[in-house]
Amino acid sequence: MKILLTNDDGLDAPGISALHTAIQSLGEVMVVAPASGQSAESHGITFHTPLMTRNRALLNGANGTAVVGTPADCVKLGLRALWKEKYGANSQPDV
């Protein structure tokens, strides 16, 4: 199973590292989260500026991608650009 993990508190938040540790045995986990806190911005998307990314380690040492953008930007970027394999409807579980 493939799992895309994001939050609105940012890549350095302890909660995303704890959740990654808790679910990493369930399948392949990709972490894409805002570079800084984006509370109350979850549905917002960026229109007028490029989305800048940087590969960084989470607090637990796992790999993650920090995005200068909103949580919705992180999900769109993770699913459309960062995940190499693409699946059609019903060919893999969607989480």
pLDDT value at position 83?
85
Mean residue pLDDT of the chain comes to: 89
pLDDT over 80 at 95, yes or no: no
What pLDDT was estimated at residue 90? 59
CA nearest to 46, candidates 26, 25, 22, 72: 72
Q: Hey, what amino acid is at 52?
A: M
What ranges do the domains of the chain cover? 2-82
